[in-house]
Amino acid sequence: MKKAIIAAFGLLAMTVSAASAGEIVRASFNDDGTVNAPKEWRTWVFVGSPVTPNALNGGAAPFPEFHNVYVEPSAFEYYSKHGKWAEGTQIAKELTTVKTGDNCNEDGSCAEVSGVGYFNAEFSGLELLVKDTKRFADQPGGWAFFNFGHHAPPYKPTSGVLPVEMCSSCHEANAETDFIFTQFYPLLKEVRKGE
């Protein structure tokens, strides 16, 4: 545990140093074009966790999990200063299932000590979004989407770019800011108020 905390502080220090120098911490790519899974993404800037559960979507929501979204700190700092996403931006999305159980209702909500609501259950997937208009000139807006598995950890160590129709087309048609659904994240909306 102590080693993990020291490693997290070390990563944060490197990120702050890079951001202060105006650099964006970039994703790590392999010779075959695949990207390596991000490290320590849970220490990145947490921006929100939307959920569209099956129970409120006719039993078949296209994305029924919580989407816990994290922005790499140097990219978040750039976005905070400039109101736009920098080249090299990384945004991680870790999925968790929605809690179920005997204390849950027909609408999928559960009664817990804090009240009735929807609660995270188990980790169930990891995705990464990377902006690189040179590397991904053929992707809308230069954003590439990667999937390290829709299952419990451990996740796959690498991923190839997902086809445009899997993610990019929906982001292009519906996302508020540069292919990103900033409209669902109060922290990102707050940053844009200064524009």
Q: 54, 64 in Cβ contact below 8 A?
A: yes
Cβ atoms of 172 and 179 closer than 8 Å: yes
- pLDDT tens-digit map of 38-87: 999 999 999 999 999 988 999 899 889 999 999 999 999 999 999 999 99
Structural domains for the chain: 2-192 (3.50.70.20)
pTM for this one? 0.84
Would you place residue 23 in the very low, low, confident or very high pLDDT band (cuts 50, 70, 90)?
A: very high
- Residue 90 has what DSSP assignment? E
CA 63 – CA 124 distance, rounded (Å): 12
Instruction: Say if CB 165 and CB 171 are below 8 A apart.
Output: no
Tell me the average pLDDT of the chain. Answer: 87
**Which residues are CB-neighbours of 159 under 8 A, at least 6 positions away?**
34, 35, 37, 128, 146, 147, 148
Cα–Cα distance, 74 to 78 (Å, whole number): 6
